[in-house]
Amino acid sequence: MPTRITICAILLWLAQSLAIAQPPQAVTPEAEGQAAKSLDEQVQDLKQQVIELNRDLFILEEELLFPANTQLAVFVSMNVGEFFQLDAVQLKLDDQVVTNYLYTDKQIDALHRGGVQRLYLGNMKTGQHELVAVFTGRGPRGREYKRGATLLFDKTSQAKKVELKIVDSTATAQPEFLVKQW
Amino acid sequence: MIKQSFRLVRVKLLRCVSLATCSQAIYALLGCLLIGSFSSSLRADENTSPPVPAEVQDLRYGVILYHFFQQSYFEALTESMVGESRQDMPFHQQSAKLLRGGMSLSYGMSRQAEAIFTELIDILPEQVRRDQAWFYLTKMDYLRGNNAKAKSTLLNIQGPLPTALEQEAIYLKANLLLASGDLEAAAATIASLPETSPWLAYYYFNLGSKQSLSGQWQQGVNSFLHIDQLVLSGEEGKSLRDRAYTAAGFSYLKGGEYQLAITNFLKVRLDSPMVDRAMLGYGWAAAQQGDFELALKPWQALAQRSVVEPSVQEGLLAIPYAYEKLDARGRALQQYQYAITAYEQGMDKLAEAIVIFRDLPLIDLVSDDSASLGEDWIMGGDNLPINEQAPYLTHLIAQNYFQSAVKGLSDLLRMQVYLSEANDRLAAMQGVLEIQQRVWRENLNQSQRQHFRQQYNNLLAVQENLEQQQIAALDDNDARRFANKDELVLWQLVDHATSMLEQLKANGADISDEQEQLRLYRGLLYWQASEQWSARRWQYKKQLVELEQLLSETKQHLQRLETLDENRYNDQFALRIEHKKQRLDTQQQQVTQLIQRSEAEIRQLAIDELSHQRQRLSYYLGQAKLAVARLYDAGNAESLP
């Protein structure tokens, strides 16, 4: 008995070990695999359909709630960000606070890696407006840091996009807060 | 224990076990590649560290990356498709599509991913990106077990790929060669990987397993032990080493090198998931040497562990076997009876678990609440309603097909949440549209629009008249055309006086002095008008230009009002909302049906697994009972030593 059990254990063990780097088919019972595949295909199709519906809703929302002639979108990006650890952003439009945003570590990481956050999407009349963004966080040497960036802009009948950029100034070893109009 | 299994599952997911292996780590790297940092120093083990950021040139693409780096694939995929629809990513269009292919794969949509990569191969202008697309197609074929197709697809890669992908491509190629039995070519292929490559350990493990299974025990051992010489870090590295020691131990055992087997079994960490198997193997190696007292040590330690583990189940039989060999048949009988009790208890618990699983709602299996089912979806079961039964499912949970099924259910539940949110969004849009339409009806009806249009037309007529006057003034050079209000009064007085003088002259009056005064006065007015003419003409022209601008703006406002109004009254938005509502209803029904089907499938998989374990326990139980009967047959139980 022991020899048989030992061989059995070894073979089972090795077969299972091999599966570490093998495709699932190597260990999947065929019948179960077929059933799962069929369901899996349906789930895949449904996911695609839900994403397409979400895309269409996104577009419809933009057109209905934020038409181009009044649309204002504000984005946040970060380039390097060694001199500033972002905690939060407050956005004011014509002296009215329109958003206060507190960042998670995951979001900060995404910004560090080149992601751009859509901070605000709203409506504005055509004409002159003032945008003020206040960034709070930790600056050089870990000190509390609070800086603002202001933009006077003209809202035309075209959709307006504004990017708030946090960049490192190597010359001053300080963060810089720039505003770019797209 | 269940957490350890989940952790192993995660380790496996991060490597090449299933389609989900192309998940976060590799796609984080893909993301960094796509935004331009093709750093040659990048290694696969650096995947999780943030790459050097590069400024994106399309905001939309930046937003996609923002979601992607947070592994919010649904949002990233949606944004990518919106971008494609809007065509607002002129600089990153192809990168976005390549990323979408990767994310689709990560999001469990391999068919969509395959379609995207196949499409990209024909349109990507850069060879390096076409190679990336070929790489992922190869990987998908490989993971589906379609080795022949994977081999031919791999040949399309002209390379070199970005470093991390290049290493994985080499690993894939070597594995394909291994699978086809060409060990020599596989060895030559893998030789191009640097010693620091994380893929080497997996290759040597596969090689060792293949050699051992074909009876080449010593070669298998060499391959397993090669892993010990590699640079491996973190829990994953330790776990791989434990697996390698255990596998090497069993290979030595089969090869008759019992002491070397023990040496390797002893290297396995005590808190390793492999330790049960290592202790079992240690015992058998000692037993094969005839040292049953030594064999009892690991087996008795093993017997203290949960009976759900196959190694423990076997260990429970091995202990009395050792006592028999030591001629302690009374103790052996006692241990067989202990094993019988343990097996019966295990079988009762399994029977109980099967009953529970038949009716258990499985939604909680993948989520402890209806909130986020993010990256750690499979860890969501800390509050499993099947906690008592969970250890029995450890083996099942580690299986790819079960993981796929649970992931499918998890994704479906997420879809249900998205659809519910979509329902709320549609309702909100419908509400906004109704309010907008009411406001429009109340404030800007058809007659009001016509009135505005009429006013605008009147203003245009006035403007035209003024322009005509300017032209006439330039033509006739009449100084009076730019006269101001006071001057016009004076001019009227002059004209009136002239008329009066004409009448007096007709009546015979002498008006020569008055005529002279009037001539002087008229001359004075002409002189004043001439002096002001240029300045007034410029002023007049300027006012006309300003008027034109104002009218142009008015025209734009009017047109915008008319367009918006037209849209509202055409009811296009209402139609679109209604259409999306219908799609939403259909999808909600589909997701409900698929959730039910998915739950039924998972339930059946679990029940099958539990039944299989019950059968195994039943087999061991039978063996133990036979042994007891055999011992009783051999002599009076009371007389057994």
- pLDDT, position B568: 61
Residue that the structure tokens 């004075």 belong to: B524
* Distance between CA atoms of residues B324 and B333, nearest Å: 9
Whether B415 sits inside 8 A of A29 (CB atoms) is no
Hey, what are B186's tokens? Answer: 């596989």
pLDDT tens profile B219-237: 999 999 999 899 888 888 8
| Mean pLDDT computed over A148-173 | 90
pLDDT value of position A95: 94
- Cβ neighbours of B315 (radius 10 Å): 25
Closest CA to B227 of B250, B209, B245: B245
Would you give the distance in Å from CA B238 to the centre of its chain? 29
**Region of poorest pLDDT, from A157-161, B77-81, B473-477, B535-539:** B473-477
pLDDT, tens digit (0-9, with 9 covering 90-100), for A90-106: 999 999 999 999 999 99
Question: What are the backbone dihedrals phi and psi of residue B195, each rounded to the nearest 5 degrees, phi first?
Answer: -60, -20
**Rounded percentage of chain B residues whose pLDDT exceeds 70:** 84
- Best of B30, B81, B396 to mutate (most A CBs within 10 Å, chain A): B81
pLDDT reported for residue B566: 66
Mean pLDDT comparison of B59-63, B197-201, B302-306, highest-scoring range: B59-63
- Closest-CA residue to B28 (of B82, B84, B106, B87): B106
Chain B closest-CA separation from residue A110 CA (Å): 5
| Distance between B177 CA and the closest CA of chain A, angstroms | 13
**Predicted local distance difference test score (pLDDT) of residue B360:** 73
Across the range B494-523, mean pLDDT stands at 88
Binary contact (A27, B576; C-beta < 8 A): no
Tokens for B526, please give them. Answer: 């002409």
Q: What is the pLDDT of residue B364?
A: 62
The fold of B1-176 is 1.25.40
Q: Which alpha helices (H) appear in B477-571, and where do they start and end?
A: 485-506, 512-570
- CA B514 to chain centroid, in Å, comes to 99
Closest CA to B263 of B271, B272, B251, B273: B251
**pLDDT at B636 (0 to 100):** 57
Tell which A residues from 134 to 153 touch B, by Cβ distance under 8 Å: none
User: Which tokens hold the place of B156?
Assistant: 């399309």
Q: Which residues pair with A138 in a beta bridge?
A: A85, A144
Query: From the CA of B428, how many Å to the nearest CA of chain A?
Result: 10
Among the partner residues A2, A13, A23, nearest to B142 by beta-carbon distance: A23
B4 pLDDT higher than 50: no
Kindly state the average pLDDT of the residues B132-147: 89
Identify all chain A residues contacting B67, using CB atoms and an 8 Å cutoff: 110, 115
**Which of B66, B210, B251 is facing A116, going by the closest CB pair?**
B66
**Residue from A45, A50, A59, A66 to probe the interface with B (highest B Cβ count within 10 Å):** A50
Higher pLDDT, B114 or B15: B114
**Highest mean pLDDT pick, B330-344, B357-371, B496-510:** B330-344
pLDDT at B10 over 80: no
* Interface touch B576/A60, C-beta < 8 Å: yes
CB distance B325 to B630 below 8 Å: no
Q: Which of residues 489-518 of B touch A (CB under 8 A)?
A: none
| A26/B69 Cβ within 8 A | no
B606 interfacial to chain A (CB closer than 8 Å): no
Sequence-separated (6 or more) residues with CB below 8 Å from residue B520? none
- Give the residue, B421 or B393, on which the prediction is more confident: B421
Residue type, B267: K
Distance between CA atoms of B227 and B7, rounded to whole angstroms? Answer: 21
Cβ-nearest to A115 among B17, B69, B281 = B69
In this model, does residue B484 exceed pLDDT 80? yes
Contacts of B277 (CB under 8 A, 6+ apart): A9, A13, B246, B250, B311
The predicted structure's pLDDT at residue B369 = 44
The pLDDT of residue B122 is above 90: no
% of chain B exceeding 90 in pLDDT = 42
In this structure, are residues B393 and B423 in contact, taking their beta carbons and an 8 Å threshold? no
Q: Whole-number mean pLDDT of chain A?
A: 81
Task: Identify which has the larger pLDDT, A141 or A76.
Answer: A76
Nearest CB among A10, A56, A116 relative to B253 is that of A10
ipTM: 0.85
In this prediction, residue B569 has a pLDDT band, given cuts at 50, 70 and 90, of low
Give the least confident one: B30-34, B194-198, B570-574.
Answer: B30-34
Contact B210 A2 (CB under 8 A): no
Selecting from A10, A21, A32 the residue whose C-beta is nearest the C-beta of B250 gives: A10
* Closest Cβ opposite residue B107 in set A17, A47, A109: A47
Chain-chain contact of A116 with B108 (C-beta, under 8 angstroms): no
> What is the edge-to-edge ordering of all strands in the sheet holding A71-79?
A117-123, A71-79, A160-169, A174-181
H-only helix segments in B304-399 = 310-325, 329-359, 363-366, 394-397
- End-to-end C-alpha distance for chain B, whole angstroms: 38
Q: Are B35 and B424 in contact (CB under 8 A)?
A: no
B337 at A interface, C-beta within 8 A: no
Q: Is A31 on the interface with B (CB under 8 A)?
A: no
Q: In the structure encoding, which two tokens stand for residue A166, read together? A: 């946090």
A41 in contact with chain B, both atoms CB, cutoff 8 A: yes
Q: A160: part of which helix (H) or strand (E)?
A: strand A160-169
Neighbours of A57 (CB within 10 A): 22
- Digit-coded pLDDT (tens) for B288-328: 999 999 999 999 999 998 888 889 999 999 999 999 999 99
- Mean pLDDT score across all residues of chain B: 82
Residues of A in contact with B433 (CB under 8 A): 64
Q: Are A114 and B62 in contact (CB < 8 Å)?
A: yes
Contact present, A16 and B256 (Cβ < 8 Å): no
Beta-carbon separation of B111 and A44 below 8 A: yes
Q: Give B383→chain A minimum CA distance, Å.
A: 25
From chain B, pick out residues whose CB is under 8 angstroms from the CB of A29.
Answer: 401
* Exposure on the CB side of residue B508, measured as CA atoms within 13 A: 0
Please state the rounded mean pLDDT for residues B274-297: 94
Is there a contact between B411 and B403 (Cβ–Cβ < 8 Å)?
no
CA distances from B352 to A52, B5, B338, B607, B613 (A): 44, 22, 21, 11, 13
Give me the mean pLDDT over the A149-153 stretch. Answer: 94
pLDDT digits (tens, 9 = 90+) for A50-90: 999 999 999 999 988 998 889 999 999 998 778 888 999 99
Distance from CA of residue A1 to its chain's centroid? 60
| Spatial distance between the Cα atoms of B383 and A87, rounded to a whole number of angstroms | 32
**Residues in A touching B247 (Cβ below 8 Å):** 13-14, 17
Task: Provide the 3-class DSSP secondary structure of residue A56.
Answer: helix
pLDDT at B335 over 90: yes
Q: By CB neighbour count within 10 A (0-12 exposed, 13-18 middle, 19+ buried), where does A132 fall?
A: middle
User: Measured between alpha carbons, how far is B74 from B77 in angstroms, rounded to an integer?
Assistant: 5
pLDDT of residue B19: 27
CB-nearest to B400 from A6, A27, A65 is: A27
A181 versus B18: which is more confidently predicted?
A181
| Number of neighbours of residue A67 by Cβ within 10 angstroms | 15
Spatial distance between the Cα atoms of B623 and B607, rounded to a whole number of angstroms? 24
Assess whether the region B1-176 and the region B198-289 belong to the same CATH fold.
Answer: yes
Residue B460, phi then psi, degrees to nearest 5:
-60, -40
B254 contacts A46? CB cut-off 8 A: no
What are the sequence ranges of the domains in chain B?
1-176, 198-289, 444-570
Q: Rounded distance, CA A94 to CA A101, Å? A: 18
Cβ-defined contact of B318 to A2 (cutoff 8 Å): yes
State both tokens at B586.
């259909």
> Using the beta-carbon criterion (under 8 Å), do A9 and B591 form an inter-chain contact?
no
Query: Of the CATH numbers 1.20.120.160, 1.25.40.10, 3.40.50.170, 2.60.120.20, which one belongs to the domain with range B198-289?
Result: 1.25.40.10
Q: How far is CA B66 from CA B69, B99, B414, B433, B481, in A?
A: 6, 12, 20, 31, 66
Question: Which two structure tokens, joined as six digits, stand for B147?
Answer: 């080795």
To test the contact with chain B by mutation, choose from A27, A37, A45, A51 the residue with the greatest count of B C-beta atoms within 10 A, namely A51
